[in-house]
Amino acid sequence: MARTSTEDKRQIIISISRQQLTLLNHDRPEREYPVSTALNGVGEQLNSGCTPRGRHRVRLVIGRRCQLNTVFIGRRATGEIYSAELGLQQPQRDWILTRILWLTGEESAFNRGGECDTLKRYIYIHGTPQSEPMGEPLSHGCIRMRNRDIVDLCELAPVGTGVLINE
């Protein structure tokens, strides 16, 4: 796949220790957002509930035309729009909202392939309910963001954008 000049100059850096996502443009910070990574910490193994480290790329951007708080299951919009009432009806549900950046690992035998494949683990950067805290590791492995922040990020980070997740 040919990469555009936009993809060549932008990169996403996710700091687990700072619980922060930084979008770089020509190696300079362009945007910073608070995030929430995995409650179980870092790790690459299938079914670990951990956030994978290392080099990744945005494989797909899902939901570009969806409204804020659109609910996704299996990367498909359900037709639901998240509300506090809906959240109270299903308090144990892991809400994936608004947009999804589906990540694929780039480091063979570390985060790509076998039992450590980021893509097969369905690791995303995605929106979450406003009531969910940012800056605290609470996810099931994905990188959670505020809904308005994920909309902004999706406009700036197309398919192919590099993602580095570090401790």
Distance CA 130, CA 113 (A): 34
Looking at residue 75, which CATH number applies to its domain? 2.40.440.10
Q: What is the count of structural domains for the chain?
A: 1
Which of these ranges, 7-16, 37-46, 90-99, 156-165, has the smallest mean pLDDT? 7-16
Report the mean per-residue pLDDT for the chain.
95
Write down the pTM of the prediction: 0.93
Summarised one tens digit per residue, pLDDT across range 101-116 is: 999 999 999 999 999 9
Residue 16 has pLDDT above 80, yes or no: yes
Per-residue pLDDT at 132: 96
pLDDT-derived band at 6, boundaries 50, 70, 90: very low
pLDDT-derived band at 1, boundaries 50, 70, 90: very low
Structural domain harbouring 159: 16-166
Structure tokens at 73: 């299951």
Summarised one tens digit per residue, pLDDT across range 124-136 is: 999 999 999 999 9
57: exposed, middle or buried (Cβ count in 10 Å: 0-12, 13-18, 19+) = buried
Distance CA 38, CA 62 (A): 21
